[in-house]
Structure formats: C-alpha cells, structure tokens
Chain A
Amino acid sequence: MAERPLQFLNPDGQLIEKSPVDLDRAVALYRDMVLARVYDKKGVALQKQGRLATYAPFEGQEAAQVASAATLEQGDWMVPSYREPAAMWMHGYPMELLIATRRGTELGGSPPDDVRVLPVSIPVGSHMLHAVGLAWAERLRGTDRVAITYFGDGATSEGDFHEAMNFAGVLNAGCIFFCQNNGWAISLPREEQTAAETIAHKAVGYGMPGVLVDGNDALAVYEATRTAVERARSGAGPTLIEAQTYRMGPHSTADDPGRYRSPDATEEWRTRDPVERLRRYLADQGSWTPEWQAELEQDGSALVEQAVVTAETLPTFRPEEMFDGMFAELPPGIAAQRAEAGAI
C-alpha cells in the first residue's frame, strides 16, 4: 500500500512521472473540469438568489470527480452521494435533473432509461451497499459491468461503509469504493473522524487493495480509477480508493466554515488547485491558450444556463404524483387519500 499518494503532476503542474494518459485525454479532462467549476459557481449563485433550495458545493474536487468518472463505460453503474454532480453528468445524468433536485422536486431523481446512475443519496454512508448489490447482480448475469460508489471521509465512520466493504470483499464484487477525502465532514476534521493513518488503510481489513491518490491530480485519479475499474471488470474484485482533496467551500449553502476552521488551510490548498494544476501542465505541452480558456468558460456557461432554463421549466410536480409514486399499483387506501387530498 502506497504511503505516499499516487501522483503524476506536482502542485505546480509539472510531470514527475511519465503521464499515464495521452494529451487528448488530458485535454478532455480539463474541458470537463472547467465545466465542473462553472457549474459549481453557478450552483452557489443560484442558491443565493433563492432559485435553489440547497446546494452542496464541490470546488476543489473537480479532478476527483471528473477523472474518476471518465474511466467508466456505458453500462457501468454509479452510486453517488450528494456532492458529486460532475461525476454524475460525466456518466450521463442530465445536468438539468441535478439542478431540478436542488430546486426541490422529485422529478430530478428520474434519469433516462439508459443512464445507470442512481440519484443523489442523502443519508451519509448508506448507499455504498447498493453498489455492491449492483456489481454482484452483474456478475450473476455474466456481464463484466462494474459499479462505482462515491462517498466522503465522514461516511467511512458509518457502519454501512464497513458492511459494504466486507460484503464486496466476500462476494468479490466488481465494485470501486471511491472516497473523496475532502478533509471535513461538515465541521469535523479528518483527524477526528478516524485514528487510521489513511482511509485507504481500511481496505486491508476487507481483503481488497487500498489505493491512496492525490485527488487534485487528474492524471493520478484517472490512472488509479482506471486500474481499479479494470480489476473489477476482470473479476478480480473490489478496490478502495482514497482521493485526498479538499472541500474549499462550506458543507452546504447553509453552513459557515468560519465557525470551525481557519481560512489558512483553505488558502494553502488553493495552491494545489486541481484545475490550475492541469492547466499549467497543458500550457507546458502547448495545449492551452487564454483564448481556449475563454471559449471553454463561455461554452460551459451556456451549457449550464441551458440546463437551468430546462430545470426551471420542467413540469410542476403535481400533488397526485405524491401518491402515484408510492407503488406500481395504487392501493385502495392510498387512492382514497389521493381523492381526499383533492388531487384528482
């Protein structure tokens, strides 16, 4: 197990090892990471304007999400938590539905039939088990589809994290446990979350590899996840990846980090920014220009704006849908309540 996180790009964007991906891939990752940053800024702004009910910012975690999701194939499963919109749309979840969820409508939870991404899961740590079952089902069906699940450092204290890791190990499920260790679970620092030296160490107890990776190095995240996905696809079993990153913003738009952490650490992490790091690398390779950057940001803004418009013009959630969503067939007692609610 690596005691030093896997890293290809140092914080200055200099390659310290041979790049595991070609330049085209690095360019594509950068494009999506810029989009992620544009989206995140927009999310925070929309919430301040009262156009989103809540929002969980992920600034600083763009590489961890984009580069990991980029390793998946269509047909693989993704089981997210609630701070991974970039990973979700990378795997096909419509951006407008992510915004719709944040606006406060169930319509956001229903991706198209060919999208194998479960919707946002709120109870921390409870969703990783679902990925184990999905991966297991694919093996029972004889396919080589895998399942990736995202969670934070806080989730690793929940019992279900350990049950999921244990089941995945025992069942040899093709499951990738992707921990975005962003240093904070609301106000609790990583050091008080676990006495383990790293979260990756926890893999040992469940008979699977634990991989420590610089979560702000897109190339390292891509390589670590690609290896884990390959391992899962080949039938060799699960992997735990700890991507060390940092939550630059608050836990949610309702949170005030000033109550529990100093801005110094955040500023220190800003020097390791994942987007800037990859930008410097691409610039060194002659694959970045200020004009292209402006174009990316403009295109990204247009894409996000369009998604916002679509989300804001989705049909209103009708009251009867509250009842109709409960069962495949409406039971008589609930049908009576539906009528009572004046929903007909």
Chain B
Amino acid sequence: MASRTLAQAITLALDNALGRSDDIIVLGEDVGRTGGVFRITDGLRAKHGAHRVVDTPLAESGIVGTALGLAVAGMRPVVELQFMGFSYPAFDQIISHVARMRHRTRHRFTVPMVIRIPYGGGIGAAEHHSESTETIYAHIPGLKVVVPSRPADAAGMLRAAIEDPDPVIFLEPIRMYRSVKEEVPDDSPPARLDTSTVERLGSDITLVSWGAMMKETREAAEKLAASGVSAEVVDLRCLAPMNVDTLAASVRKTGRAVVIHEAPRSAGLGAEVIASLQEHCAYDLEAPVARVTGWDTVIPLKMAEHHYLPSTERIVTTAERVLAS
C-alpha cells in the first residue's frame, strides 16, 4: 500500500490488468511512446510491449470501431480517448455498435470494452478540452457510465470495468488527476459498478455529486459543518445504469438534497437524479431538491472558467436556501 494520486491509481490498475491477462490491450492516440497526453499510460509500453500498448492513427471512430472487433474476437480492449470533446467522432461506433452488439445478437457477440475518457473543466485548457457531457453517454441503453472521485476507488473501479463483460465508459476527472492522494493497494480488488457511496454521514441535508465536483462538494460539507449544519455526502459514482437506492435512503433520512454537477443544467443528469428521488421518496422531502450546475452555455475558456464551474460557495448558499425552506 502506498499513497497515490488518482492518476497513479489508474496507471497502476492498467499495469496490473496488462500483467494479469494477455487479452488486455491498451490503445489510443499517443498512449505508447509518450504515455498519453496525461501520462496515464506512462511506462506501460516499455513494460508490456508495443503490441499491447498501441499508438493508433489519429481517428477516434477508427479506434473504437477497431476495438469493437478486438472485443468480439475475445480480447479486452481498453481505449483511451484524449478528451471528452474529442470523443464525439466515435459516437456512431459507440451508440450504433458498441452499446448494441449484445442486444442485436442475443448475447452471441459481446463487447467487453473500456473507453477511458478524461473529462471536465478547471485546467484552463483550449476549447473542446473541458467538456462534461456524461449525460449523452448515460442516455444510451447498453452502456455503463462510471466516474471515480478518489484514487483508491478509481483503481478498483477500473479493474471492475476491465473485467466487466459489457462496455464501460470510464470517465476520469482531469482536475483531480493529481490534486488528491490517498492510500491505494498495490493490487486493488474490483469495486462495485452499480452502487453509490455515502462518504460522509450527516442528518440535515444530502449533497450528491460525482467525479471532479466531489472536491467542491466535500468542501461545502466542511463549511456547512462549521456553521452547525450536518451534511451527508453521496458520491454517485455510477451514472448509468443509475441506481439511486443509496441516495434515496440518504434523502429519506435528511429530507433535503442538493445535486451538484458541472455539466449544463438542462437535461443534465441532475434532472434524472431529481426525478428518481421524486419517484422513490417524494413524501420524505422537506423541501424541493435543488441543483448547482454549470450553465446552459458553452464552457468558457481559461479567463472566465470560474464563472461557469460551480464553486464551493454556490453549493453552500444553495444548501442554506434549501435548509431555510
């Protein structure tokens, strides 16, 4: 066990997976020689070989479509797409084939594939590098969409995703890659890919978020605690298929909730969370569930990014408003 960043935890999980089975193949743009734009695959080509950590031509649809063929033939491809904003060229492959092959063939041909996609803003990158469009993937039947927010969970979730018999969109919160550290086992067991986690117990209000926004959500819970408010914090983790059992249990207890995500508000996953809570525990609610989200705008570039991304203060203020109603 060693203290590791989220980036290191993902690298470790890939390294372990490559060591565990010859069926695993890592492929994507620049993943081999340079170790990827975020250096997540750094050192893996030297250790496991250029035939297993493969630099592909620059074509996302080509990468995913080819990986589908690998998967149907029994390999376990782990694809890296460099940024969420560059995943769109692969959309047709993901929606039309990756997500549907099992259904189309009544389980005869399956696609055990992981598509790793770094996502989210806050790093002052160029246009198209800060997208948080997880709701688009979560809407597609046949895909699992998951996102870790802690290093230890990331390692276990990635292992589970790689061992999963179905395609998994594995989102990686870019601004958390190297901002948090925690103890991560040298070889994590697989984590559940169908549950949420209560990571802080509270009794007054539930704050629920996922991925990169968990940082501000945790900070908001701390600030609320300082003013005497006991906030429970839920990391949704698994966005699709969504299982709100844990969250609903929390809200039944606290009676109040705020959903936080950096994606645009309209038709964002927060809407799905709130609709589900309404179905599961409407009569336990003391106040309407509130949302703290990105705006229905294009996420601005570096100079104005902070006007877009939900801040700790916005979460605290919104929670206080919900508590007052």
Contacts and interface: CB of A to CB of B under 8 A. Distances in A.
A46 interface: no
Interface string B112-154: 0000000000000000000000000000011010000000000
Interface in B49-100: 51, 56-57, 59, 61-62, 64-75, 77, 89, 92-93, 96-97
Contacts of B110: 328
B70 A133 contact: yes
Interface stretch (A109-117, A190-198, A274-282): A109-117
A327 B166 CA distance: 6
Interface stretch (A11-19, A31-39, A58-66, A136-144): A136-144
Contact of A130 (B69, B77, B89): B69
Q: Which of B59, B73, B142 has the most CB of A within 10 A?
A: B73
B61 A131 contact: no
Given A106-B103, A119-B104, A163-B65, A137 B93 contact: no
B61 A130 contact: no
Contacts of A219: none
B198 to A, nearest CB: 17
B245 interface: yes
A150 B89 CA distance: 23
A160 interface: yes
B67 A133 contact: yes
Contacts of A54: none
Nearest to B104: A109
A334 interface: yes
Interface size class, chain B: 35 or more
B92 A160 contact: yes
Given A123-B92, A126-B96, A167-B56, A133 B106 contact: no
B297 interface: no
A159 interface: yes
Contact of B73 (A123, A127, A133): A133
B105 A133 contact: no
Contacts of B66: 129-130, 132-133, 136, 164, 167, 171
Given A123-B96, A133-B73, A110 B57 contact: no
B102 A118 contact: no
Q: Which of A107, A137, A325 has the most CB of B within 10 A?
A: A137
Nearest to B25: A140
A129 B68 contact: yes
A182 B174 CA distance: 48
B69 A109 contact: no
Interface size class, chain A: 35 or more
B93 A331 contact: no
Contacts of A331: 194, 241, 243
Contacts, number: 141
Contacts of B96: 123, 126
Contacts of B70: 133-134, 136-137, 140
Contacts of B165: 327-329
Nearest to B66: A133
Nearest to A332: B243
Interface in A301-344: 321, 325-329, 331-334
A110 B69 contact: no
B20 interface: no
A121 B105 CA distance: 11
Contacts of B25: 140
A301 to B, nearest CB: 29
Contacts of A325: 102-103, 106-107
A109 B97 CA distance: 13
A129 to B, nearest CB: 3
Contacts of A163: 57, 59, 61-62, 65
B242 interface: yes
B109 interface: yes
Interface in B246-271: none
Given A134-B73, A140-B75, A110 B105 contact: yes
Nearest to B95: A123
A131 B68 CA distance: 9
Contacts of B56: 167, 170
Contact of A160 (B62, B104, B242): B62
Given A133-B66, A134-B73, A160-B62, 11 more contacts: A106-B104, A119-B105, A123-B92, A128-B65, A136-B66, A137-B70, A140-B75, A163-B62, A164-B66, A327-B166, A332-B241
Top 4 closest pairs, chain A to chain B, by CB: A133-B69, A129-B65, A163-B62, A137-B73
Interface of B: 25, 51, 56-57, 59, 61-62, 64-75, 77, 89, 92-93, 96-97, 102-110, 141-142, 144, 164-166, 194, 241-243, 245
18 contacts: A121-B97, A129-B64, A130-B66, A133-B66, A133-B68, A133-B72, A137-B69, A163-B57, A163-B61, A164-B65, A170-B56, A326-B142, A327-B144, A328-B110, A331-B243, A332-B194, A332-B243, A334-B241
